Structure 1
Amino acid sequence: MKYNEYDDKTLKHLQSLELMILKDFIKICEENNLTYYMYAGSLLGTIRHNGFIPWDDDLDVIMFRDDFEKFKKIFISSQSDKYELLSNETEKDYFHLLSKLMLKNTKFEEDWVNQVDFHIGINMDIFVLDDLANGKFKRNYQLKKSFLYNKLLIMSKIKLNDLPFSTKVITHACYHILNLFGIKPSKINKRCLNFLNKYKNPDAEFVFDISANADEYPQIFRRDDFKSIIKVKFEDIEVNVPVNYDHILKSLYGDYMSLPPKEDRYNHITETLDFGPYEL
């Protein structure tokens, strides 16, 4: 697999800026009684390394939908001169169901950036947990439709090129059809959120992360996995970790305490990395 290889100084500087974003995000959450959890590779790094995975170049947190919507309103009303929030509401052509808290005047852009009118700065990903229906039939229907929304959202804005030929032909055809009929990311996102709201239920046994990669099914967890938090060291601070982090990490990575072989220690394929005013 193709991956970036940073020199140690550049990677450490990138991680230091992402840690700064995390600290400022935590401050907002604590001041407004909002709950977040370390997630995905950042949860793995917290447990296995007490910080960043040594070769990792991003940062991930997750929140329940209600807390995220509150965070979004609080952040947007603050009119920050340091950060901007990239989400479906702040950028109508944004095509992910996760959001990004980004440092202004920086760049951390992948190869699809020439297909969009917005930029990506050095950032922290904010994933969202939504309720799943309790009945098996309804739950399967919700997952399949959510999976479809996720794929349509991406295909409505960019042409996916790094795919097998037959898959690329299909996704490019979908891109042209969606654009021919004027079906933009903002329209798909609105329908998706309306669909998710139908299943809001604080007693739901399962919750899920709808924003899994386009070729993957949404990631499912038990609500009890997140019923409380524990504090764990991450670099020079303590962060929130779901009480049942072991179950979550096993479902995501299997034997997560074992290091992967060197050839699998990869990170994002960035087209442009610009530290802007935070230059080394």
Structure 2
Amino acid sequence: MKLSDAQRKRVQEDELQILIKFDEICRKFNLKYTLAAGTMIGAVRHKGFIPWDDDIDVYMLRNDFNKLRKIAPMELPENMFYQSHYTDPEYYYPFDKIRLDGTIFKETFLANHNINHGVFIDVFPIDSISNNKCKSTIQFYHYRFYRLGLMTKYINIEARSGKRKTLANILRVLYLPFNLDYLYKKCEIIAQQKESRYKNSKWVRNLNSVGSDGMKETYHHYAFTKLEFIEFEKNKFYISKDYDAMLRAIYGNYMKLPPKSEQVTRHDLAELKL
């Protein structure tokens, strides 16, 4: 199921309301964040959503992310839900979401799980890594080994097709000895231990980036502490002052619009209720 233009605009409106509340909490408790990925591009290039986008991403350093996990469930209004494995036990993504209750934005990848499926924004932790390139590479693949197993076993296999479904079936056999709880805990432990060990490192990384090119999302620590305001849908939110270098590292010339064929929403939905 793909969104119509009217549905996409309504989803964007709901996501914006979540982002506004998230920003209020972060300012109240002095938690640092930056708009990220397509949301960062949208802010810089469009002063709001990329017209065809259907999600919002933010990044936070692990320490602030851990604080948010404790604070947000108590600070969010009654119509919003902070979703992590600890608040929604069948949710096993190693990053968190803030959901809008009373809505359904059920992704096919998660449709078979009994979780809150409301419209959401994604909150990604950014983790400290070693200044030593060899050690940080080992850390990356150590984490990604368990994350690959977690996603392989967790994501609805029927939402895949072709070679991806075949590969998922093969990986499920390889990861058969590990259950979801074990894989999730390993991801958490690795990230938290390295955060403690390398807390004074000058480098950080998004260990949960999508795809195999995750090491591109390696940044100076100051990219998440030196922030400025940017306009996004007539509101002001935080963005890293280093946004240009961050975006170029992943997307190249991010100011150039993609071909029309690629100007489509990203999520495939099993159910939608707004």
Q: How does 1:196-211 map to 2 (within 5 A)?
A: 196-200=191-195, 201-211=198-208
Deviates most, 263-272 or 16-25: 263-272
Q: Are 2:143 and 1:146 aligned?
A: yes
Match of residue 82, structure 1, among 76, 79, 85: 79
What corresponds to 2:9 in structure 1?
Answer: 12
- Please give the per-residue CA displacement for 1:225-263, whole angstroms capped at 9, x wherever unaligned: 223101111112111010110000101211000111110
In the alignment, what sits opposite 1:247?
245
Query: Partner of 1:269 in structure 2?
Result: 268
Paired position in structure 1 for 2:31: 34
In the TM superposition, residue 159 of structure 1 has moved relative to its aligned partner by 4.6
Tell me the SS of whatever aligns to 1:198: helix
Can you list the C-alpha shifts for 1:124-169, whole angstroms capped at 9, x where unaligned?
Answer: 110110001111221110011122122111112235353543x533
**Matched-pair contact (CA < 8 Å) for 1:97–1:210:** no
Would the aligned equivalents of 1:86 and 1:101 in 2 still touch at CA under 8 Å?
A: yes
Distance in 2 (CA, whole Å) between partners of 1:185 and 1:63 is 25
Secondary structure (helix, strand or coil) at the match of 2:214 reads coil
- TM-score scaled to structure 1, two decimals? 0.88
1:70 aligns with 2:44: no
CA offsets, 1:75-127, max 9 Å, x none?
A: 22347421112212223332322211000121111213342222421011101
SS in 2 for 1:197: helix
Counterpart pick for 1:94 among 91, 95, 113:
91
Structural RMSD (CA): 2.0
Q: Note closer, same or farther for the CA distance 1:214–1:250 as it changes in structure 2 (3 Å cut).
A: closer
Please show how residues 48-197 of structure 1 align to structure 2 within 5 Å: 48-78=45-75, 80-161=77-158, 162-165=160-163, 167-176=164-173, 178=175, 181=177, 183-197=178-192
Task: Please show how residues 214-253 of structure 1 align to structure 2 within 5 Å.
Answer: 214-218=211-215, 219-253=217-251
Shift of the 216–4 alpha-carbon distance from structure 1 to 2, 3 Å rule, reads farther
In structure 2, what is the Cα distance between the partners aligned to 1:5 and 1:94? 24
Return closer, same or farther for 1:115/1:214 CA change in 2, 3 Å cut-off. Answer: farther
Distance 1:216 1:168, change over 3 A: farther
**Structure 1 residues without counterparts, runs of 5 or longer:** 276-280
Instruction: Tell which deviates more after alignment, 245-254 or 85-94.
Output: 85-94
TM (norm. structure 2) is: 0.90
The answer for the alignment partner of 2:258 in structure 1 is 260
Measure, in 2, the Cα distance between the counterparts of 1:273 and 1:139: 41
- The equivalent of 1:278 in structure 2 is none
Displacement of 1:176 in angstroms is 4.9
Gaps of 5+ in 2: none
Q: Is the 8 A contact 2:108 2:156 kept in 1?
A: no
Matched letter for residue 27 of structure 1? E
How far the C-alpha of 1:216 sits from its partner, in A, is 4.2
- Partners of 2:73 and 2:11 in 1: CA distance: 25
For 2:85, the aligned partner's letter is N
* Alpha-carbon distance in structure 2 between the residues aligned to 1:163 and 1:49: 34
Deviations 1:192-221 (A, max 9, x none): 221122322232121111111254435222
Q: Distance in 2 between matches of 1:117 and 1:60?
A: 23
Q: Cα offset for 1:265?
A: 0.9
CA distance in 2, matches of 1:163, 1:94: 23
Secondary structure of the structure 2 residue equivalent to 1:156: helix
